[in-house]
Amino acid sequence: MPKILAQCKKIECDRGANLRKTLLENGIDLHNGKSKLINCRGIGSCGTCAVQIEGEVSPVNWRDKTRRSLPPHSPTKDLRLACQTRVLGDVRVTKFEGFWGHGSQIVWKPKAENGENGENGEK
């Protein structure tokens, strides 16, 4: 089973699981601030579920590519829409600041083996 590392959690999921759904079901704060309330619920139109992913996931689909080509996102930034992403292997997920998760400061990242707590990258 693939493992997702996000915030302070290690989550096991089925291969092909939807990343947004899996993170939310496991209590991960995927959406920043008011985007917790105001988001498209996973249809790929709002862009607020953007995260950085390391690991094996599905190829970028047209919804993800289209939404991230529009401001404040940038098609050149290394982000994906969690709602349009399927988990295919072990992944590490990092969330950035901003309503759309498009900022440069890390809000949370995976807990590291060296004791980092997964929040803001601080020990």
Residues that bind ligand FES (CB under 6 A): 20, 39-40, 42, 44-49, 67, 81, 83
Neighbours of 113 (CB within 10 A): 6
Provide, rounded to whole angstroms, the least separation between the CB of residue 73 and ligand FES. 10
Stated as kind and residue range, the H or E segment containing 1 is none
Give whichever of 1 and 27 is closer to ligand FES, judged by the CB atom. 27
Provide, rounded to whole angstroms, the least separation between the CB of residue 123 and ligand FES. 31
Give whichever of 42 and 121 is closer to ligand FES, judged by the CB atom. 42
Q: Are strands 80-81 and 86-96 parallel, antiparallel or unpaired?
A: unpaired
